[in-house]
Amino acid sequence: MSEKEIEHIAIASNKEDDSDKFFIELLGLVKIRSFEVSADLMHKFFGVNKTQKIVRYEKDSLSFEVFITDDESKAKDTFSHTCILIKDRDIFVDRASYMGFSIIKVPRKDSSGYYLFIKDRYQNLYEIKELE
């Protein structure tokens, strides 16, 4: 174990069903647990005075805590993203496209490869690289 590791990544999603579709069906993670954080703690941590449902997904060393908003808001940050290494990236792209996720595929200059980003329904951005 190194001195520093990422324990989890926290993001938001409008609905638990949307979150399940992305993290379970597309990425193959497992829903570990759901829990609520009190409005008091949410206010202290994030300045939001509302009880918050959070769903945790994991597989191997990859862990996400997803804050379920139960509203129609969307991610507002244009640049923040998580990079995930995937085996068989082309198969993954086909599956993501079939499932209706937004795909951004940009050819690399002077190469046959491409840059790949996928957006979930909340508009969180994920860069997808090939696991070698």
pLDDT for 12-21, tens place per residue?
A: 999 999 999 9
In this predicted structure, the answer to whether residue 48 has a pLDDT above a threshold of 90 is yes
Stretch (H or E) spanning 11: strand 9-13
Q: What is the largest CA-CA distance in the chain?
A: 54
Position 20 scores a pLDDT of: 98
Give percent of the chain above pLDDT 90.
Answer: 91
Mean pLDDT of 82-105: 95
Q: Rounded to the nearest 5 degrees, what angle is found at the Cα of 20, between the Cα atoms of 55 and 50?
A: 35
| Local structure of residue 23 (DSSP, 8 states) | I
Please name every residue paired with 20 in a beta bridge, in sequence order, or none if there are none.
none
**Among 95, 35, 96, 40, residue whose Cα is nearest residue 66:** 35
Domains detected in the chain: 9-130 (3.10.180.10)
- Residues 1-12 have pLDDT tens digits of 568 889 999 999
CA distance 30 to 83: 19
Position 124 scores a pLDDT of: 97
Q: How confident is the model at residue 126 (pLDDT cuts 50, 70, 90)?
A: very high
Q: Environment class of residue 83 by beta-carbon count within 10 Å: exposed (0-12), middle (13-18) or buried (19+)?
A: exposed
- Residues 51-86 have pLDDT tens digits of 999 999 999 999 999 999 999 999 999 999 999 999
Strands 81-86 and 102-107: unpaired
pTM over 0.85: yes
